[in-house]
Amino acid sequence: MPAIAQSKFSRPTAILHRTPWTPPVAKGAEGIYIDLEDGRRVLDAVGGAAVVCLGNSHPKVIQAMKDQIDNVSYVYNMQLSNQPAEALANKLISTSKGAFTTCGFVCGGTEAMESVIKLGKQYYAEIGQPQRKNYIARQLSFHGNSLATLSLSYHPTRRAAYVDLLNAERFHHVSPAYAKRFQKPDETEEQYVERLRQELEDKFIALGPNTVIGFVAETVVGATTGVVPAPKGYFKGMGTLHGWESFGDNVAPDIQAIAKGLGGGYAPIGAVLMSKKVADGIKNGSGLWKHGHTYQGHPVACAAALAVQNVVESENLLENIRKQGAYLESLLQARLKGPNALAAPYTFDIRGGGGFWGIEFDFTDATDLDFGKEAFALRVQARALELGLVIIGMTGGSNLEGTKGDHVILAPAYIVTKEQIEEIAAIFVQSVEEVLKEATV
């Protein structure tokens, strides 16, 4: 956070925070609004980390959690299963359009991807192919913050402190599917996709096709590059992916990792969904998932997630967020890239879908701006918070080295209204413009 804003949020704390500044303290929340200890009420325009899909304090979710605590607060999944875990599993499988037959639960996204890595290896061991030991992923991807998932990922800044510990022998990378930055000027979209497909095939051949466990990819890259979907047709030639129905060419993966909106922030939970092929391979072998954690399949977390999914369905919230997301895009396009927009020369891209949007800025040719030591995106995040809006500003997603790029992510809860979308757009654009004006030399 810029020094000019940091002092406003300084306070004593015994927590070693993830940020170079001390964040304000939330003391209450309702819907998409959060009340802070300093008396301000702020609008959460990004759902924390694109997690809070229902907003806070939904009565049905709170009641489901209370009821579960009254009934069974905890059982260990190597001894007993529990009703909400079984019900949530059935819900996830029954709504997967036949893609999956089995699932397992974890406590979040990193654990889910760690589980995917181990599950893939176990599957091939169970079917008699133990020589498979390599994974292929993409540069500028992010799959989690454990050592294994950081090895699989290629988020330069998050990997930097741990490079000496990461496994480069088993985790390999190919180019990102990021047309706006890496498609050649003389390439069509189809030619770009074919080049990426050939690169992946070449990587398989170089490693030895019978040594590869799988190709792992995000359908929409979130934090690293700022809501970047793959180009059309990419996944039809690639195989494994997750989040496939909206941006994945409708190609079902063998294994899918989910978290974030699964529990909507009400409880830490993630899940790993398995295709019939993978599930049968294990069931016909050892018959069990050789992976687990103390809080796996936690009854209260599963009850919360089941309630969240039921509310999303019963209140038709996917339709609302599609509608409001389209409206948000139209406002951003007009106010950031319109003919009279102050930010137009620097707004490189506005992209996304539903309620998940990324705005990328580029200052390569800007000679009249000086942001000092503070990145533009972080300055905008800080200014937005001063003005009552919570957003995420990120840097380093515009080149493979992680040294270029500013982007902001917006992901309001599915319950957001038209009036709140207008407020989000207005405060965000005001924040961008104020930071630009202050940096003008």
Neighbours of 26 (CB within 10 A): 14
> What does the block give as tokens for 52?
């809070």
In the prediction, which pLDDT does 139 show? Answer: 97
Neighbours of 83 (CB within 10 A): 14
Contacts of 91-99 spanning 24+ positions with Cβ under 8 A: 91/306, 91/309, 91/310, 92/258, 92/271, 92/273, 92/309, 93/273, 96/273, 97/245, 97/252, 99/244, 99/252, 99/253, 99/256, 99/273, 99/275
Q: What amino acid occupies position 193?
A: V
In the prediction, which pLDDT does 237 show? Answer: 56
| Per-10-residue mean pLDDT, the chain, length 441 | 49 91 95 97 97 97 98 97 98 93 97 97 97 97 96 94 96 97 97 96 96 94 92 69 45 90 97 97 97 96 98 96 97 97 98 96 94 94 97 96 96 98 98 97 88
Neighbours of 201 (CB within 10 A): 14
Q: Alpha-carbon distance 93 to 169, whole Å?
A: 35
Q: Alpha-carbon distance 397 to 409, whole Å?
A: 12
Angle between helices 299-314 and 59-71 (to 10 degrees): 150
> What does the block give as tokens for 317?
């919230």
* Sheet with strand 102-106: strands edge to edge: 102-106, 270-274, 255-258
Please check whether residue 414 is in contact with residue 401, taking contact to mean a CB–CB distance below 8 angstroms. Answer: no
> What does the block give as tokens for 3?
């020094």
In the prediction, which pLDDT does 253 show? Answer: 87
Residue 221 CA neighbour count, 13 Å, CB half: 25
In the prediction, which pLDDT does 86 show? Answer: 98
In the prediction, which pLDDT does 247 show? Answer: 46
> What does the block give as tokens for 378?
């972080």
Q: Alpha-carbon distance 394 to 226, whole Å?
A: 8
In the prediction, which pLDDT does 250 show? Answer: 61
In the prediction, which pLDDT does 233 show? Answer: 87
pTM here? Answer: 0.93
In the prediction, which pLDDT does 418 show? Answer: 98
Please check whether residue 120 is in contact with residue 135, taking contact to mean a CB–CB distance below 8 angstroms. Answer: yes
